[in-house]
Amino acid sequence: MTRRASGEFLFANQRAIEQLALAPTNYHSQSVPYAHADTDRLHLLRRLERDGRILNKEMELVAFDGRRFPVLGSIVPIDFAGEEALIGAFQDISNLKATEMKVRSSESRLRALFETVPDGIVVLGADGTIRQVSESCATLIGDTDPARHLGHPILDFVAEADRPVAREMLAKVSTGQPRETIPYRIARLDGTLVWVEPRGVPILDPVTGQPMVILVLRNITRRREAQEQLAAHATKLQEALNRIAHLQNEIVRVCAWTKQVNVDGKWIPIDHYLAKHLGLKVSHGISGGGLAMLGAPKEEPPEPQSGAAGTP
């Protein structure tokens, strides 16, 4: 409680004495230490004349030990022992202001990310509804104003066939479980599909404490198309190599075994016939290893001729 004319204290409770660092027993000659002294006090008096009272106004005080701190103040005029006086209640909101600054700082950083990162960023509520989106989400969903979809379930924008995968991924992120980054498709408003690589992290709203999820969606459509084209080319190349190998094998077989002779009703390679019956060695241009690979029969040694030298 203070005198209205001079602002000097008439009464201060123990809490006010501690907050303002007043002289414990002799504070009556002191005044409320507004940050801007007479200027702030004059402004408050004018507002009291206009409104009759001041409720929950944010202001700054400077304690007599030099400490500055924000307060939420309410001031009401009263009569005290026949003298015009003011009674005020001041709540120290230093912690609240510090929290507010942290929230603003977080919002600033998040806004900077929203405006500069090319990936789509979506803030989801615990129920999977969209709370906030980055401008880069416009290209993902094919809408120049993605913010108009706030409050819609994120799964509405996932291709129907991929919703089970997306739903499972969001459930794991929300509960902090280990999760794999499994791509799925976003259905754009024009019906086309965009492949995205999702990454999510659970957070708590710094003001309400409610759980939320920040979801980062990277457009990997071109990468997927390139991978699919590369896989298709690799398949075609392997098929061509298999055909070449098969054709090569058949050509070798044809070249090796085309000329055969019928001996006693059995077809045998002509080089085997010449080696067995005439003792001739014929080169066919294929190595022993090549013949073994083809499964060629071993050459039969020539039978010993009767009457040869050394025969009794």
Architecture of domain 111-219: 2-Layer Sandwich (3.30)
Specify the range with the lowest mean pLDDT, choosing from 60-74, 106-120, 295-309.
295-309
Q: Do domains 2-93 and 111-219 have the same CATH topology?
A: yes
Distance CA 27, CA 13 (A): 11
pLDDT of residue 312: 44
pLDDT of residue 256: 52
Mean pLDDT of 218-231: 87
77-110 in b/e burial notation, b at 16+ Cβ within 10 A? eeeeeeeebbeeebeebeeeeeeeeeeeeeeeee
Mean pLDDT of 22-50: 88
pLDDT of residue 53: 92
The token pair at 134 is 């980055």
Query: Does residue 254 have a pLDDT over 80?
Result: no
Residue of higher predicted confidence among 31 and 279: 31
pLDDT digits (tens, 9 = 90+) for 12-27: 999 999 989 998 888 8
Q: For strand 130-133 and strand 120-125, is the pairing parallel, antiparallel, or unpaired?
A: antiparallel
Residue of higher predicted confidence among 111 and 167: 167
pTM above 0.75, yes or no: no
Domain limits of the chain?
Answer: 2-93, 111-219, 227-294
The token pair at 77 is 């005029």
pLDDT averaged over every residue in the chain: 82
154-186 in b/e burial notation, b at 16+ Cβ within 10 A? beebbbeebeebbeebbeebbeeeebeeeebbb
Query: Does residue 120 have a pLDDT over 70?
Result: yes
Architecture of domain 2-93: 2-Layer Sandwich (3.30)
Query: Does residue 194 have a pLDDT over 50?
Result: yes
Q: Shortest CA distance to 2 belongs to which of 25, 32, 47?
A: 32
Query: Of 98-107, 123-132, 179-188, 250-259, which one has max mean pLDDT?
Result: 123-132
Residue with token string 């003298």: 83
pLDDT of residue 288: 60
